[in-house]
């Protein structure tokens, strides 16, 4: 399915996993150390997980929110608890797709700063505002808040996941790598190993990514943390084109948390690729009930369309167009929706606006290139598609898009190579688009060994779009 799995980062195993590794990392401890020992309650478990950098179980997170809301009714000047509450609202809103939690988070975090300004050391609220900006897809804002925290407290390790996401969102992988290196210097454990696995994956180092993700799973302590770790492993298997292995890994995640949204979505993808489409539709319904992310809506609609269930597909696309989304990936997903199932010119307008705002991740570059192709502007599309595939991520959808753009330009050799590469990476990357990639490749036929290729010009010499970065890769040539 064509929703892009780049480091979201942008969704490391889903947006909830990303924010579970950032939004609550810094919650200040509020437990009464003078109290006699007793088993920790749900709110205390959530705070404990946060201090360890681990995602809290959702019921514990909800309990933490209730605990701080109650406390603040009697102690409205407690800046630390306002920061806790704001971060927890962001986390809950992202994990449940509830847009109403984000304004609540902003009010709580601003109240924290009113009670204890940044100049007096309120780092927690600043981190919370940075994570909130990332949840809204405001990568410039996330970067600004993260860099303020880094300047004020350079050893606050939990600022660095925020910066990694922000730099990736702004299309600065070198800065993201430096932030990752600093994070590893400052902290260890399952969360950081998981982040490192994502960084390796983004660079195309698949074996290193998988080995490091296995380390993260071995270090995971709680059921929620284990579900996140095994979902990440499932994602890596899926991206390698191994749906049976992905299915097994997602199943492991679901044994730890039976309704884990990203694992349900991943299992739905794998089931569809294995031809078990009734089960896949069931899991898409469950994933959307648990965590209604825009990419899940698009993918479920495209599965329905591939099965000839046009009414279900139209309903999914209408839901996507009419929704309010808590996801930094929404601009990309809505652009792909218009490019493939609506007005490609509207997709170009949307994605160019995102690009102009500095949102230059590989996902935005890919989506903008695809939208330009669908709008009949293949020459402009090419540099964006090359940029998307040039950063190291081995993505079957990105490579398919590049091959189709080259095919539209009459660059038969590169088109044949990239379409074949997309299908090698993942023969079933999308129930809707993988068959189209196969048909396009078949339509190109076999290369003529005696012909002098007219399309041997390296891609780096293609005319650049006026607002794309120059393509640096020397390796994309002819046949």
246 and 119 in one domain? Answer: no
Residue 244: pLDDT over 70: yes
Tell the residue number behind the tokens 């601009």, with chain if given.
331
Residue 321: pLDDT over 70: yes
In the structure, what pLDDT confidence band is assigned to residue 59 with cuts at 50, 70 and 90? confident
26 and 135 in one domain? Answer: yes
At 424 the pLDDT is: 97
Q: Output 475 or 279, whichever has higher pLDDT.
A: 279
Is residue 208 one of the residues assigned to a domain?
yes
360 and 268 in one domain? Answer: no
Q: What is the pLDDT of residues 190-223, one digit of tens each?
A: 889 999 999 999 999 999 999 999 999 999 988 9
Phi-psi region of 296 (alpha: psi -120 to 50; beta: other; left: phi over 0): alpha
Is residue 105 one of the residues assigned to a domain?
yes
Residue 460 DSSP symbol = G
At 477 the pLDDT is: 34
Which residue segment(s) compose the domain that 283 sits in? 188-290
149 and 20 in one domain? Answer: yes
Is residue 312 one of the residues assigned to a domain?
no
Percentage above 70 pLDDT, the chain: 82
Assess contact for 369 and 405: CB atoms under 8 A.
Answer: yes
Helix (H, G, I), strand (E, B) or coil at 8: strand
In the structure, what pLDDT confidence band is assigned to residue 316 with cuts at 50, 70 and 90? very high
Q: Output 465 or 83, whichever has higher pLDDT.
A: 83
In the structure, what pLDDT confidence band is assigned to residue 40 with cuts at 50, 70 and 90? low
269 and 343 in one domain? Answer: no
Residue 284 vs residues 5, 12, 272, 299: alpha-carbon distances, Å: 17, 19, 10, 9
Residue 375: pLDDT over 90: yes
CATH code (residue 274): 1.25.40.10
64 and 108 in one domain? Answer: yes
Assess contact for 417 and 444: CB atoms under 8 A.
Answer: no
Residue 90 vs residues 140, 260, 454: alpha-carbon distances, Å: 18, 18, 53
At 105 the pLDDT is: 96
At 271 the pLDDT is: 98
Helix (H, G, I), strand (E, B) or coil at 29: coil
Q: Which residues pair with 411 in a beta bridge?
A: none
At 265 the pLDDT is: 97
Residue 326 DSSP symbol = -
Residue 159: pLDDT over 70: yes
Q: What is the pLDDT of residues 438-479, one digit of tens each?
A: 999 999 988 766 554 554 444 444 444 445 543 333 333 333
State pTM to two decimals.
0.83
- Closest CA relative to residue 22, chosen from 99, 96, 133: 133
When the pLDDT of each residue in the chain is averaged and rounded to a whole number, the result is 86
Assess contact for 202 and 7: CB atoms under 8 A.
Answer: yes
Q: How many helices (H) and strands (E) does the chain have?
A: 24, 0
Exposure string over 49-81, b if 16+ CB within 10 A, otherwise e? bbebbbbbbbebbbbbbebbeebbeeeeebbbb
390 and 245 in one domain? Answer: no
- Domain closes at, from 239, 269, 290: 290
Q: Measured between alpha carbons, how far is 282 from 55 in angstroms, rounded to an integer? A: 26
Count of Cβ atoms closer than 10 Å to residue 259 Cβ: 14
144 and 1 in one domain? Answer: yes
- The domain tally of the chain equals 3
Count of Cβ atoms closer than 10 Å to residue 473 Cβ: 13
Biggest alpha carbon–alpha carbon distance for the chain? 85
203 and 112 in one domain? Answer: no
At 95 the pLDDT is: 85
At 37 the pLDDT is: 55
229 and 149 in one domain? Answer: no
Q: Measured between alpha carbons, how far is 113 from 79 in angstroms, rounded to an integer? A: 7
Pick from 312-316, 329-333, 475-479: least confident: 475-479
Is residue 30 one of the residues assigned to a domain?
yes
Percentage above 90 pLDDT, the chain: 71
At 354 the pLDDT is: 94
Assess contact for 192 and 53: CB atoms under 8 A.
Answer: yes
Residue 12: pLDDT over 70: no
- Closest CA relative to residue 307, chosen from 284, 334, 339, 336: 284
Is residue 152 one of the residues assigned to a domain?
yes
The two structure tokens encoding residue 145? 């808040």
Is residue 303 one of the residues assigned to a domain?
no
In the structure, what pLDDT confidence band is assigned to residue 149 with cuts at 50, 70 and 90? very high
145 and 13 in one domain? Answer: yes
Q: Quick one: 245 exposed, middle or buried, by C-beta within 10 A (0-12, 13-18, 19+)?
A: middle
Residue 15: pLDDT over 60: no
* Average pLDDT for 380-406: 95
Residue 77: pLDDT over 70: yes
Assess contact for 313 and 302: CB atoms under 8 A.
Answer: yes
Q: How far from the centroid of its chain's Cα atoms is residue 403's Cα? A: 24
Is residue 296 one of the residues assigned to a domain?
no
Q: What is the pLDDT of residues 396-417, one digit of tens each?
A: 999 999 999 999 999 999 999 9
Is residue 171 one of the residues assigned to a domain?
no
In the structure, what pLDDT confidence band is assigned to residue 158 with cuts at 50, 70 and 90? confident
202 and 135 in one domain? Answer: no
């Amino acid at each position: 399915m064509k929703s892009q799995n780049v480091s979201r980062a942008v969704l490391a195993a889903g947006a909830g996993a990303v924010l579970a590794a950032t939004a609550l990392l810094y919650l200040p401890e509020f437990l009464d150390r003078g109290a006699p020992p007793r088993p920790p309650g749900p709110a205390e478990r959530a705070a404990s997980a946060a201090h360890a950098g681990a995602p809290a179980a959702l019921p514990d997170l909800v309990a933490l929110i209730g605990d701080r809301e109650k406390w603040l009714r009697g102690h409205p000047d407690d800046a630390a608890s306002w920061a806790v509450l704001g971060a927890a609202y962001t986390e809950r809103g992202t994990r449940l797709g509830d847009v109403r939690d984000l304004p609540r988070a902003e009010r709580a975090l601003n109240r924290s700063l009113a009670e204890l300004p940044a100049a007096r050391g309120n780092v927690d609220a600043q981190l919370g505002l940075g994570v909130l900006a990332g949840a809204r897809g405001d990568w410039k804002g996330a970067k600004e808040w993260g860099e303020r925290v880094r300047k004020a407290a350079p050893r606050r390790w939990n600022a660095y996941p925020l910066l990694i996401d922000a730099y990736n969102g702004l299309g600065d992988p070198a800065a993201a790598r430096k932030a990752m290196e600093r994070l590893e210097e400052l902290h260890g454990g399952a969360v950081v190993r998981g982040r490192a696995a994502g960084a390796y994956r983004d660079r195309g180092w698949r074996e290193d990514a998988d080995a490091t993700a296995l380390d993260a799973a071995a270090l995971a302590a709680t059921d929620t943390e284990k579900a996140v770790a095994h979902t990440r492993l499932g994602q890596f298997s899926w991206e390698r084109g191994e749906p049976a292995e992905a299915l097994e890994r997602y199943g492991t995640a679901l044994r730890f948390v039976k309704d884990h949204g990203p694992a349900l979505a991943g299992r739905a993808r794998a089931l569809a690729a294995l031809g078990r489409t009734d089960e896949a539709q069931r899991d898409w319904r469950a994933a959307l009930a648990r965590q209604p992310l825009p990419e899940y809506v698009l993918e479920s609609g495209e599965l329905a369309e591939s099965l000839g269930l046009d009414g279900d597909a139209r309903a999914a696309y209408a839901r996507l167009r009419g929704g309010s989304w808590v996801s930094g990936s929404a601009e990309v997903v809505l652009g792909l929706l218009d490019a493939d199932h609506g007005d490609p010119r509207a997709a170009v307008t949307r994605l160019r606006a995102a690009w102009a705002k500095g949102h230059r991740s590989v996902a935005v570059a890919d989506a903008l290139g695809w939208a330009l192709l669908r709008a009949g502007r293949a020459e402009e599309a090419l540099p964006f598609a090359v940029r998307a595939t040039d950063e190291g991520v081995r993505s079957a959808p990105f490579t398919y898009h590049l091959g189709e753009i080259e095919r539209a330009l009459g660059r038969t050799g590169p088109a044949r190579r990239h379409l074949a590469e997309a299908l090698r990476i993942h023969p079933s990357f999308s129930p809707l688009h993988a068959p189209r990639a196969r048909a396009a490749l078949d339509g190109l036929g076999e290369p003529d060994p005696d012909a002098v290729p007219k399309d041997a010009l390296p891609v780096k010499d293609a005319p650049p779009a006026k607002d794309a970065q120059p393509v640096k890769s020397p390796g994309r040539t002819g046949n």
